[in-house]
């Protein structure tokens, strides 16, 4: 993890309130993907959706403007943005004057696209323009009410088992938890899995999800690991894995990976978000 030596994670950081694009810290996806068995040709389509709830800047008269923003990073981007650096970058707008929302949009889109070497989609909405509704939970069969005994809190894909009948179904769980690769702090999430293929045994699938509880990895790579494990051990013909994580520092991260080119509901928010 030599590429993380200069990362602001786990270090005391100054509160920079004037625009500073070099606060963004890019991390290559490749090293962690190698550990999962993902190489040049991606076995999925997908996007990482980030929501920012603490975006603000000054207009030309010095009056604050407050907004919410959504960023969509294609899973094909060579780099991701380290989350603390992203927060520090957004904070650098707080005392900076801009002529318009459109100027802020263009600057952020350019900075993120440059850092990730990909076309990042940016949507910024002033608070009075937002109509976001909170959805309590994912759609699908809720796994968490299953009466299971859990003993393994380190990722164990051998827990995944299948039955013979072919089905299409969607299941979800709120019991996903992993830990940050750098700080070791907990990342809480909800996970939705949609697939077509031999039925995945629900009790063992839930045990597998719980087995991430002490796992150390970034959000994006956890979702890709889950996708790859299910593909290897259950061999569905279609698979979509979608996680929505609880926000930290005004940002939430929501990785989406699928065998299909599937439209994503951009307005979705769960109750912990």
Q: Could you tell me which residues come within 8 angstroms of residue 157 by beta carbon, excluding any fewer than 6 positions away?
A: 208, 229, 232, 233
Three-class SS state of 73? strand
- Within 13 A of 249's CA, how many CA atoms are on the CB side? 15
Structure tokens at 146: 């299953």
Euclidean distance between CA atoms 22 and 221, whole angstroms = 25
DSSP state of 2: G
Determine whether 271 is an active site residue: no
- Could you tell me if 67 and 55 are in contact, meaning their C-beta atoms sit under 8 angstroms apart? yes
Determine whether 187 is an active site residue: yes
Nearest-5° Cα angle at 106, 102 to 111: 150
Q: Pick the catalytic residue from 187, 229, 234, 252.
A: 187
Q: What is the DSSP string of 159-215?
A: G--EEEEEEEEEEEEEEEEEE-TTT--EEEEEEEEEEEEEEEPHHHHHHHHHTTTT-
Nearest-5° Cα angle at 21, 109 to 72: 30
Nearest to 48 by CA among 144, 137, 112, 105: 112
Q: Pick the catalytic residue from 48, 75, 111, 180.
A: 180
The residues assigned a catalytic role are: 180, 187
């Amino acid at each position: 993890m030599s590429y993380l030596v200069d990362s602001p994670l786990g270090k005391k950081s100054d509160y920079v309130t004037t625009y500073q694009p070099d606060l963004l810290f890019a991390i290559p996806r490749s090293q962690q993907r190698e550990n999962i068995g993902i190489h040049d040709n991606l076995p999925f389509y997908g996007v990482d959706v980030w929501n920012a709830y603490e975006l603000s800047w000054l207009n030309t008269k010095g009056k604050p403007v407050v907004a919410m923003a959504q960023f969509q990073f294609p899973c094909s981007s060579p780099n991701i943005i380290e989350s603390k650096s992203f927060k520090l970058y957004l904070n650098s707008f707080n005392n900076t004057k801009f002529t318009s929302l459109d100027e802020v949009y263009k600057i952020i889109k350019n900075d993120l696209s440059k850092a990730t070497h990909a076309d990042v989609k940016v949507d910024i909405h002033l608070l009075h323009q937002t109509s976001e509704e909170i959805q309590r939970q994912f759609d699908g069969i809720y796994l968490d009410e299953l009466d299971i005994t859990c003993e393994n809190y380190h990722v164990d894909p051998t827990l995944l088992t299948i039955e013979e009948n072919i089905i299409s179904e969607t299941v979800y769980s709120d019991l996903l938890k992993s830990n940050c690769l750098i700080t070791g702090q907990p990342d809480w999430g909800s996970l939705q899995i949609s697939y077509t293929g031999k039925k995945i045994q629900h009790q063992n699938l839930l045990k597998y999800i719980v087995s991430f509880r002490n796992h150390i990895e970034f959000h994006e790579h956890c979702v890709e690991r889950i996708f790859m494990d299910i593909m290897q051990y259950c061999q569905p013909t279609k698979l979509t894995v979608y996680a929505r994580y609880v926000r930290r520092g005004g940002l939430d991260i929501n990785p989406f990976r699928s065998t299909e080119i599937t439209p994503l509901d951009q307005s979705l928010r769960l109750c912990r978000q």
